[in-house]
Amino acid sequence: MARIFCIANQKGGVGKTTTTVNLAAGLARIGKRVLVVDLDPQGNAKMGSGIDKRKLELSIYDVLLESATIAEATRRSDKAGYDVLGANRELAGAEVELVELDRRDRRLKAALAGVVSEYDFVLIDCPPSLSLLTLNGLCSAHGVIVPMQCEYFALEGLSDLVNTIKQVHANLNADLQIIGLLRVMYDPRITLQQQVSEQLKSHFGDKVFNTVIPRNVRLAEAPSYGVPGVVFDAHSKGAQAFIDFAHEMAQRIETM
């Protein structure tokens, strides 16, 4: 049975999609069966996995509106080594359409029930908001992985997310927990980043992953080639860090 994780942070540009596709590729390298669910209308996870977003085809939008199953809407990324349930601009409208419907926050959960036996991991790339789409992700998941940059306002933004997760845990999904905070785009030469990193560890203890993802240009270049950094240049520092992170996640799952 798949373990399902949201990669969430309501800020944009903090490394959610990079974390999703590279963790997926890292897990695929160690033989795990992985499904990436792109819940962001920007469709970056789909593009970054080498699946063309302009092609008119079934997507997560159809799944949420129950006009397609996940099996029908999922595509294989051979280069990346995992499956992708893609998003496109249409998904932005789903937010409004879902409000009218019943079980509007449980649609993804219901759809995933049909494929959980086919995967070891489902990784959900959330949009940069605490919206109904994100709520569908949180209602489906066993846990949340929060990528964050070690910057001055990082901790402040975190409290909104932590509160939302607590509320979902209390009212909608008792399984949900924060699996961990992942420090990304880290530059150890910057004193402020070291300080925030220490603060994170003293606040959140072992909820902070041991692996640290460095700022690395190969990770930023990879999406334009339609592959995760782990596939684009497996020897780069960024890719190596994500491969380490995949091992750390696989281990954490065993003790969950």
List residues near ligand ADP by CB under 6 A. 12-18, 44, 128, 184-185, 213, 215-216, 219-220, 223, 238
Query: Tokens at residue 50, please?
Result: 């080498």
State which residue, 12 or 188, has the beta carbon closest to ligand ADP. 12
Contacts of 247 (CB under 8 A, 6+ apart): 26, 30
Which position among 9, 19, 22, 44 is part of the footprint of Mg ion (CB under 5 A)? 44
- Least distance between Mg ion and beta carbon 126 (Å): 8
Which position among 3, 11, 16, 75 is part of the footprint of Mg ion (CB under 5 A)? 16
Query: How many chain residues bind Mg ion (CB under 5 A)?
Result: 3
- Least distance between ligand ADP and beta carbon 219 (Å): 4
In 3D space, the residue among 137, 184, 170 whose CA is nearest the CA of residue 5 turns out to be 137
State which residue, 43 or 143, has the beta carbon closest to Mg ion. 43
Q: Is 174 helix (H, G, I), strand (E, B) or coil?
A: coil
**Chain center to CA of 138:** 11
- Least distance between Mg ion and beta carbon 148 (Å): 14
Q: Which does 64 bind (CB under 5 to 8 A by kind): Mg ion, ligand ADP, none?
A: none
- Least distance between ligand ADP and beta carbon 146 (Å): 11
- Classify 50 in phi/psi space as left (phi over 0), alpha (psi -120 to 50) or beta: left
Stretch touching Mg ion by CB under 5 A, among 29-37, 43-51, 196-204, 214-222: 43-51
Cβ(60)–Cβ(86) under 8 Å?
A: yes
Quote the crossing angle between the two packed helices 237-254 and 16-29, to the nearest 10°. 70
For residue 135, CA distances in Å to 78, 86, 104, 108 come to 30, 18, 9, 10
Query: What size, in residues, is the chain?
Result: 256
Q: Which does 15 bind (CB under 5 to 8 A by kind): ligand ADP, Mg ion, none?
A: ligand ADP
- Least distance between ligand ADP and beta carbon 128 (Å): 6
Question: Which residue ranges make up the site for Mg ion (CB under 5 A)?
Answer: 16-17, 44
